[in-house]
Structure 1
Amino acid sequence: MKTFLENYWVVFLSQLTCWMLIVFNIGVAAGYIVVIGEIFEPLLPIIKVYIPFLDGPMRITSAIWACVMLPLACIPQVSSLRFVSVVAIASTFVISGVITYRFFAPLHPPATQESHRVKYISLSRRMVLTLPILMFSFDCQTLVFQLYASIAEQTRKGMRKVSILSVGVTGTVYFTLGLFGYLSNTPHVSGNILANYDPIKDRLFAVGDVMYSFTVITAYVLVLFPCRDAVFILLYGYSTATHESYHGAIPTLDNLMATCLLSIISLLLALKAPGILFIIALLGGLCSSSFCFTLPAAFRLRLHALGVTPASSRELFVAFVMLSLGCIGGVMGTAVLITGMS
């Protein structure tokens, strides 16, 4: 009886995790679609001159989704997106460089600008958004299995190298982007740093915004991989990241059908979303806190309790810290959802 209950809970929790992964990544994908709309909305006066049909944010968002995002999302393997990923990374460096350059070489002479006091800490009710947003930034962890299956050195050491390098580089780039973006626009800073710049007056940012859209599009495509694999695990018991252990891969037709369905759902959600901050707070608090903090910490503590892999004092401390952060983030995300803060 005990064995039966243990097996039941294993199956139940596995399926629950898959469903949470599907919901989380669809929401993340919807968030990226919202960002695409925010990037191109200021460029509408320029776009309408050449393509009159694209005269609104909804139309241009839908057009980019249908012509670029959906076709790329249908690619079956992460390894096939290496060139696209390189372009996306380069675009991130470009927009970071543009923002840094504009700080040191402002569009308007310094004499015409008012000096404002920089506030590095701001106490307000919107501070409740900070922790869920921080947890939302860990959404890349849902791609761990797909990335592990695509790297040449499939070992813990190899994965550690990839993780340290990627986190270090992207962390530095986004810290630079956020710092100089804030310092250049204080005190009138919106949630989306790019929204603080006018691409019509500053054509440098018109180019930068278009290039940064490649980064967002690539992120949208990548985040659908674990979502699609979760669907395949529910249907077949395995996914494209583990199919080499089986005799056959996922059929192409099934891959296309799952991709189109998930993409359409994310588009409809994005068109109805009240704002990107609401999506980030909700998913960051409720889902990302579970996937990236609570579940890994609970799994590590369980392995230690069963004696399978005893943990050191440092590992136990880290596990308890992650568990605490996950619980706090979940509560804060729920508060954001209930109060409708956006």
Structure 2
Amino acid sequence: MQIGLYLPVVVLSGFWALVLILGPLFVPKSPNRGTIGFLFGMLVGLNVAISDMSTDVFATVGGIKVTIRFPALLFSLTLVSPFCFIRRIEALSAASSVAVILYSIFLLSLVIGYAVPKILSADFVVLHFRLWRPEGLVHCAPILASSLCCQVQVNTIYSSLKSASYYNMKRVLVWAVGFILICYLTAGFFGYIAFYNGPGSTVAGNILNMYPEDFHAAYIRLSFLYTMMASFPLILFPLRTSLHSLLFEEFDNGPLCAEPGLVIPNSRFRWLTAATIAMSVIVSQTTNRVEVILAHTGSLAGALICYVLPAVIHLRAAGTIMTLASGLAICLLLFGFFVLISPILTLLCVDA
């Protein structure tokens, strides 16, 4: 077993454990400790992906073979850092819309440019594909679970809505989760078809590494790089709010129940942003495998804050009355525990 592969897991786990230990000293009974661990892990995963994409784009477009990922990451973050210090999330809505359009174009190019020609080719054999692989489910379940978590964005979305109501909030979340689910299913299924070449071949965890080294692939990587850079300041909004409430505020129920109009002083806003970016950059240099970061982040922090805690809260409120909603909460709780222990299953079963 390679120790370097699990170094980021140890670092992330240590960071989250530090937050869990110090959290009660500042905000007793607050669930935002899990929120901080989840969002920080997502930020580290973005840094890893940005450094990889920047290296590939520089190598293909400029003919410059960048052998060190750190300078490429610093160059990309230099471009995106000014947007991280913007206080109004409405100013980032246009960049987010462009990212959604580019991601849709990426999926269309994957399906039309790579998967469909592979299906129509003469050597396409359906029996070569493995439609059921339990060990792959153990690897992918935390990533899929964490990708469908929108609870941490509730206050950010609510404060940016022109007509803030329960119906509008529900509609935004349903559309967001539906879009993410369709994107993940499309990229996973058609990416597997496009780049799997029969028994003995493997598909990389980062599907963009499977693209050929040409300018068409460079444009795809460049557009995907933009989507990740646009997501960076958006993840910082709830993470910064959670850190501020952990260190300086006294919310009994955590940042998800705080007033959406919470204003962070300018000095705290700036140094929290700078410190979070710097720490995420340092941790991201421990690995170049983004799937490892996302899987363990989704299983450790994401499972608790997004699945286990909501299920426990509902069951505690419902009491001994068993309803359909209570049954769904029990299923959600079991799924959360499965996601929580999935890294252990990966270490004991898959890697062995």
Task: Assess same fold via TM > 0.5.
Answer: yes
**1:305 and 2:319 are equivalent in the alignment:** yes
Identify which of 103, 113, 118 aligns with 1:102: 113
What are the superposed Cα offsets for residues 292-329 of structure 1, whole Å, 9 maximum, x if unpaired?
101111111122229xxxx7712111111111111121
3-state SS of the aligned residue for 2:285? helix
Structure 1 123/337 Cα, relative in aligned 2: closer, same or farther at 3 Å? Answer: closer
Identify which of 167, 170, 187 aligns with 2:180: 170
Structure 1 73/289 Cα, relative in aligned 2: closer, same or farther at 3 Å? Answer: same
- Matched AA of 1:85: S
Alpha-carbon distance between aligned partners in 1 of 2:157 and 2:84, rounded to the nearest angstrom: 16
Identify which of 101, 104, 110 aligns with 1:93: 104
Does the 8 A contact of 1:96 with 1:174 survive in 2? no
What is the total number of aligned residue pairs between the two structures? 319
Q: TM-score, normalised to structure 2's length?
A: 0.80
What are the superposed Cα offsets for residues 189-244 of structure 1, whole Å, 9 maximum, x if unpaired?
1111111112x23x222111101112111222211211100111121347799566
What are the superposed Cα offsets for residues 88-108 of structure 1, whole Å, 9 maximum, x if unpaired?
10111111111112136659x
Q: In structure 1, what is the equivalent of residue 191 of structure 2?
A: 181
Identify which of 253, 274, 278 aligns with 2:267: 253
Q: In structure 1, what is the equivalent of residue 238 of structure 2?
A: 226
- Matched AA of 2:105: V
**1:59 and 2:75 are equivalent in the alignment:** no
Q: In structure 2, what is the equivalent of residue 330 of structure 1?
A: 340
The structural deviation recorded for 1:123 is: 4.2
The structural deviation recorded for 1:67 is: 2.3
The structural deviation recorded for 1:74 is: 1.5
3-state SS of the aligned residue for 2:234? helix
The structural deviation recorded for 1:55 is: 5.3
Alpha-carbon distance between aligned partners in 2 of 1:327 and 1:54, rounded to the nearest angstrom: 41
**1:12 and 2:12 are equivalent in the alignment:** no
Q: In structure 2, what is the equivalent of residue 128 of structure 1?
A: 138
The structural deviation recorded for 1:133 is: 1.8
Alpha-carbon distance between aligned partners in 2 of 1:132 and 1:173, rounded to the nearest angstrom: 16
The structural deviation recorded for 1:13 is: 2.0
Identify which of 48, 66, 70 aligns with 1:34: 48
Alpha-carbon distance between aligned partners in 1 of 2:142 and 2:293, rounded to the nearest angstrom: 10
Matches within 5 A, 1:190-205: 190-198=204-212, 200-201=213-214, 203-205=215-217
- Matched AA of 2:233: V
3-state SS of the aligned residue for 1:272? coil
Deviation larger for 36-45 or 218-227: 36-45
**1:236 and 2:249 are equivalent in the alignment:** yes
Alpha-carbon distance between aligned partners in 2 of 1:245 and 1:183, rounded to the nearest angstrom: 47
Does the 8 A contact of 1:138 with 1:288 survive in 2? no
Structure 1 38/259 Cα, relative in aligned 2: closer, same or farther at 3 Å? Answer: same
Alpha-carbon distance between aligned partners in 1 of 2:88 and 2:314, rounded to the nearest angstrom: 30
The structural deviation recorded for 1:163 is: 1.5
Q: TM-score, normalised to structure 1's length?
A: 0.82
- Matched AA of 2:249: Y
3-state SS of the aligned residue for 1:119? coil
Q: In structure 1, what is the equivalent of residue 148 of structure 2?
A: 138
Structure 1 219/244 Cα, relative in aligned 2: closer, same or farther at 3 Å? Answer: closer
- Matched AA of 1:236: E
Does the 8 A contact of 2:311 with 2:330 survive in 1? yes
Structure 1, unaligned runs of 5 or more = 1-7
Structure 1 173/129 Cα, relative in aligned 2: closer, same or farther at 3 Å? Answer: closer
Structure 1 241/295 Cα, relative in aligned 2: closer, same or farther at 3 Å? Answer: closer
Deviation larger for 163-172 or 231-240: 231-240
What are the superposed Cα offsets for residues 170-204 of structure 1, whole Å, 9 maximum, x if unpaired?
32233222222111111431111111112x23x22
Alpha-carbon distance between aligned partners in 1 of 2:298 and 2:112, rounded to the nearest angstrom: 31
The structural deviation recorded for 1:270 is: 0.6
Alpha-carbon distance between aligned partners in 1 of 2:340 and 2:227, rounded to the nearest angstrom: 28
Q: In structure 1, what is the equivalent of residue 165 of structure 2?
A: 155
Structure 1 159/243 Cα, relative in aligned 2: closer, same or farther at 3 Å? Answer: closer
Q: In structure 2, what is the equivalent of residue 290 of structure 1?
A: 304
What are the superposed Cα offsets for residues 150-187 of structure 1, whole Å, 9 maximum, x if unpaired?
11232221111112222223322332222221111114
Q: In structure 1, what is the equivalent of residue 16 of structure 2?
A: none
Alpha-carbon distance between aligned partners in 2 of 1:19 and 1:90, rounded to the nearest angstrom: 33
Alpha-carbon distance between aligned partners in 2 of 1:104 and 1:262, rounded to the nearest angstrom: 39
The structural deviation recorded for 1:262 is: 0.5
Does the 8 A contact of 2:307 with 2:332 survive in 1? yes
Alpha-carbon distance between aligned partners in 2 of 1:251 and 1:321, rounded to the nearest angstrom: 42
Does the 8 A contact of 2:84 with 2:273 survive in 1? yes
Q: In structure 2, what is the equivalent of residue 217 of structure 1?
A: 229
Structure 1 314/114 Cα, relative in aligned 2: closer, same or farther at 3 Å? Answer: closer
Among the aligned pairs, what percent are the same residue? 22
